[in-house]
Amino acid sequence: MYAINNSWWKGNDQVLLGWKNDERLLPWIRNERLLRNVYALFLGQVISFLLALSSFFSSSVIDLGVNVPLTHSFFAYLPLVLVFGTIRMGRRQNIRVSWLYYLYLGFVDVQGNYLVIKACQYSTLTRVTLLECWTIPWAMILTWIVLGTRYSIRQFFGAALCIGGLASVFLSVAGWGGGEGSKPLLGDTLVMAGTLFVAMGNVGEEFCVKKKDTVEVVAMIGVFGLLVCGCEIYILELETLTSIKWSPDIVLGFAGHAVATFLIYTLLPFFLKISGATMFNLSLLTSDLWAVVIRIYFYHQKVDWLYYLSFATVAIGLIIYSKDDGGSNIAAFEDQNLNAHYQELSEGSGGCRN
């Protein structure tokens, strides 16, 4: 039951080693680094697809006249608390990091999601989608400052190719002409602030999951995200919630969004362990393209060939980026900054297992 903690990747290391030494496999599969890259690329696209699925369910609720993004987030954090919080309580250990740090992670996570969604009310979807790409340079800057990650020229080129692949299709299909939204400057500002918050949350979580307990990190983000959402719902969305006429379609939309988001938060720590916040945000660039695939399936819409070209370009950029691993010097300052927050119980208090 507790195999989901920090020993998770150690077990995968043994699996990779077994594959590497298996004489029946092709020689190129024995490259452990290649296996990690392929696994990261695959897992990134699973998360990207889940993000597109969650957006589909949330947009279906908005189409029904219900626009409550904070309530969506509330029901996404709730299963994290119920599942990972229960596992964490079963260990009977004190938290390893100060609750203030988890409050920070929960706060920036909620604000990042809310501000980007709120921006859609004042700007066009095209502008919001393109400006969301700012999450990537924010993540690269923060990982360089906070985690000591160093990037190669090839990684910069791969990141630029990913962003260019997504930007080109949206600019060609929608263009910058025509409507810009009711308040484009306000919308752009909200997106930029939202992407900064998202990057801050991703980098903070990357630090925690690589050196702390994965279950604790996810559980605490759920707890404090739930608390922050609850406070903001009371201020911003309570009146709207009381006026909603609930229907099976609305409930299904909320439930689908909650399940998809729960899976994202569950898989995200595993991705951050083997890769990082920058690679994660690059992988999410395909979520808008996955959204098109979902709409093709449900609504039988036709897709311009530029979408396929964009998907291929982003995929190539991801492969180029993953060729080099930007090492982070987390261990160099981890003990200095967070040791004060450690409060492990003695081995005899509760007979806990990790």
Query: DSSP string of 281-330?
Result: HHHGGGHHHHHHHHHHHHH-----HHHHHHHHHHHHHHHHHHTS-----H
pTM assigned to the model: 0.76
Predicted pLDDT of residue 177: 43
Predicted pLDDT of residue 181: 62
Q: Are 262 and 78 within 8 A, CB to CB? A: no
Nearest to 260 by CA among 84, 46, 64: 46
Contact residues for 137 (Cβ-Cβ < 8 A; gap 6+): none
Local structure of residue 212 (DSSP, 8 states): S
Predicted pLDDT of residue 200: 93
* Polymer length in residues for the chain: 354
Predicted pLDDT of residue 34: 75
Predicted pLDDT of residue 332: 41
Predicted pLDDT of residue 186: 86
Radius of gyration of the chain measured on its C-alpha atoms: 21
Predicted pLDDT of residue 23: 54
Write the pLDDT tens digit of every residue in 177-212.
445 567 778 888 888 899 999 999 999 988 888 777
Residue 250 CA neighbour count, 13 Å, CB half: 12
Q: How many CB atoms lie within 10 A of CB 15?
A: 10
Predicted pLDDT of residue 31: 64
Predicted pLDDT of residue 345: 35
Could you tell me how far CA 331 lies from the centroid of its own chain? 23
Predicted pLDDT of residue 353: 39
C-alpha 45/C-alpha 283 separation (Å) is 6
Predicted pLDDT of residue 67: 84
Predicted pLDDT of residue 3: 40
Predicted pLDDT of residue 250: 92
Write the pLDDT tens digit of every residue in 19-32.
555 555 555 555 66
Q: Are 301 and 295 within 8 A, CB to CB? A: yes
Which stretches of the chain drop beneath a pLDDT of 50? 1-11, 175-178, 326-327, 329-354
Predicted pLDDT of residue 224: 95
Q: Are 353 and 1 within 8 A, CB to CB? A: no
